[in-house]
Structure 1
Amino acid sequence: MPDHSTLKGRTAFVSGSGQNIGRGIAVRLAEAGANVVVNGSRDRDACEDTAERVRAAGTEALVVMGDMGSAADVDRVAAEALDRFGRIDILVNNAARRPHKPFLETTDADWAAVIDVALTGSFRTARAFLPGMVENGWGRIVNFAGMKAMRGYFEGAPISAGKHGVWGLTKALSREFAGKGITANVVSPGQIRKDGVDADDPARTASIPAGVMGRSDDIAAVVAFLASPEAGFVTGQMIAVNGGEET
């Protein structure tokens, strides 16, 4: 059974938490005792469903819709979250865009749309919530990469560039804020089955030594550990959750 006291009194912000990995993370943190700010850019009903699952775990939830690629939206979302809870102790930057397009067909707008969410959005949320973490002498930042992004995404140069940038940002934050009780780490998922899909894709499991695709709960468990007090000496790390695939 989940430990309902590990994060009691803490508040988490999880971007892109209307479905799949983000939803799993939000619920897992709630099961550990954290209040959760649920965020999505389009599907409010999905975010409200996540919020209901958070409340069912026994903690408070707030839904704040907004595009993490928009500076104005990030400012507004952060203000709403801080107005409701006073501070954010755990920041999980899960929101992302993953369009596929040949490199020579990629426009400036295509490039910016991906980078603005994955990298610049992570910078903006960290800038918004770090002051409270510093003031309280405790904080957890968990950013996301991705196995394919770190290898080099086929027909996805902006994705790889953005996620490598997130890795650099995370390492910089880990060094600057380690002495203030704040950790910053990256989780790099492998091939994860989407929620509601009952069977693995054999064409995809063939390359996974574990023989199965991962699930949202596998990612959520690692994030919950990184968010916990027990992970206070783990910072500046990239943790691959991929069933043994080469990263």
Structure 2
Amino acid sequence: MAGKTAIVTGSGRGIGRAIAIELAQRGAQVAVNFFRRRESAEETAAVITAAGGRAIVVKANVGQLDGLQTLVQETVKAFGGVDIFIANAASGVLRPAVEQDERTWDWTMNINARSLLFGARAVAPFMQAQGWGRIIGITSIGSTRVLPEYAMVGISKAAIEAAVRYLAVELAPTGIVCNAISPGVVETEALDFFPSRDQILAEGLRRTPAGRFVQPEEVARLVAFLCSDDARMIMGQVITIDGGYALLA
């Protein structure tokens, strides 16, 4: 990936951080994005630069169109273009579907799903100009299965998967490859927001045939593979990496 430029949204911590570091280790220049926790994003960038890579830190709310525009503009200003766009940022209000309201709908859908679609729109011209690009969304099993307290996030993840399919078909003729990755239970700080965190971890471990949780670095390596030319004929797919979690009835 030498000479490539990647944007990884929500890359201050967790899976996003692992993806940013992995792509940088393979030679990519990386825009590390955050909205609320600059210190975490700076730590991600510091790891990259300490290893000899190049990174910038960009504060932007990717749920807003002007935030996406800022992120892309700052990346292009620093590195000259965008080759890889990883829509990793995620948020949501964890409560039953019938307890959601218009505000929580807009917040969750905008950050999780709209950021992918309109992020793709913003970066596509740079990718099309050179006939090469990779767009990847991070989804979850909650897009197709019902999980406690996960209604709004699950709906947004289903939207990500649908958007990836449409983008894949529309952008393939221009050399842009679009896919999604669905990790299983990954023990990151994101789980701390779940009221039933301990139950999720215990049940997740019990249900995973591999006997352990997926690590953020394993998700990152899958992202790197999908960004490679070896994966250029994988298009519009949702690739599951969960240690077999979703296989059990």
In structure 2, the partner of 1:26 is 20
2:211 pairs with 1:217: no
Matched residue SS, 1:239? strand
- What do you get for the CA RMSD once the two structures are aligned? 1.7
* 1:156 CA displacement: 2.5
Cα distance in 2 for residues equivalent to 1:150 and 1:87 = 35
In structure 1, the partner of 2:245 is 245
Matched residue SS, 2:33? strand
2:85 pairs with 1:91: yes
Cα distance in 1 for residues equivalent to 2:3 and 2:215 = 28
Cα distance in 2 for residues equivalent to 1:203 and 1:166 = 26
Pairs within 5 Å for 1:142-221: 142-194=136-188, 201-221=201-221
Matched residue SS, 2:136? strand
2:101 pairs with 1:141: no
* 1:128 CA displacement: 0.8
Question: What is the CA deviation profile of residues 105-145 of structure 1, one whole-angstrom value per residue up to 9, with x for unaligned ones?
Answer: 11100111100111111112111100010011000001011
Cα distance in 1 for residues equivalent to 2:234 and 2:145 = 24
In structure 2, the partner of 1:59 is 53
Cα distance in 2 for residues equivalent to 1:85 and 1:79 = 10
In structure 2, the partner of 1:12 is 6
* 1:157 CA displacement: 2.2
Cα distance in 1 for residues equivalent to 2:203 and 2:167 = 38
In structure 1, the partner of 2:232 is 232
Cα distance in 1 for residues equivalent to 2:186 and 2:137 = 17
Report if aligned partners of 1:27, 1:50 keep a CA contact under 8 Å in 2. Answer: yes
Bigger Cα displacement from structure 2, 115-124 vs 50-59: 50-59
Report if aligned partners of 2:85, 2:134 keep a CA contact under 8 Å in 1. Answer: yes
2:137 pairs with 1:117: no
Paired residue type of 1:35: Q
Instruction: Give aligned pairs, total.
Output: 238
Cα distance in 1 for residues equivalent to 2:246 and 2:92 = 21
Report if aligned partners of 2:92, 2:107 keep a CA contact under 8 Å in 1. Answer: no
Matched residue SS, 1:127? helix
Cα distance in 2 for residues equivalent to 1:153 and 1:129 = 33
* 1:207 CA displacement: 0.7
Q: Kindly indicate which of the two structures has a greater share of residues assigned to helix.
A: 2
* 1:234 CA displacement: 1.2
Cα distance in 1 for residues equivalent to 2:92 and 2:244 = 23
Report if aligned partners of 2:33, 2:59 keep a CA contact under 8 Å in 1. Answer: yes
Paired residue type of 1:145: T
Structure 1: which 5+ runs fail to align?
Answer: 1-6
Cα distance in 2 for residues equivalent to 1:42 and 1:19 = 12
Matched residue SS, 1:234? coil
* 1:201 CA displacement: 4.5
* 1:214 CA displacement: 1.0
Return the match for 1:82 from 40, 64, 76.
Answer: 76
When the two structures are superposed, what TM-score results if normalisation uses the length of structure 1? Answer: 0.92
Question: What is the CA deviation profile of residues 181-225 of structure 1, one whole-angstrom value per residue up to 9, with x for unaligned ones?
Answer: 110000001001227x9xx94443101011101110110010010
Q: Which of structure 1's runs of 4+ aligned residues deviate more than 3 A?
A: 200-203
Paired residue type of 1:31: Q
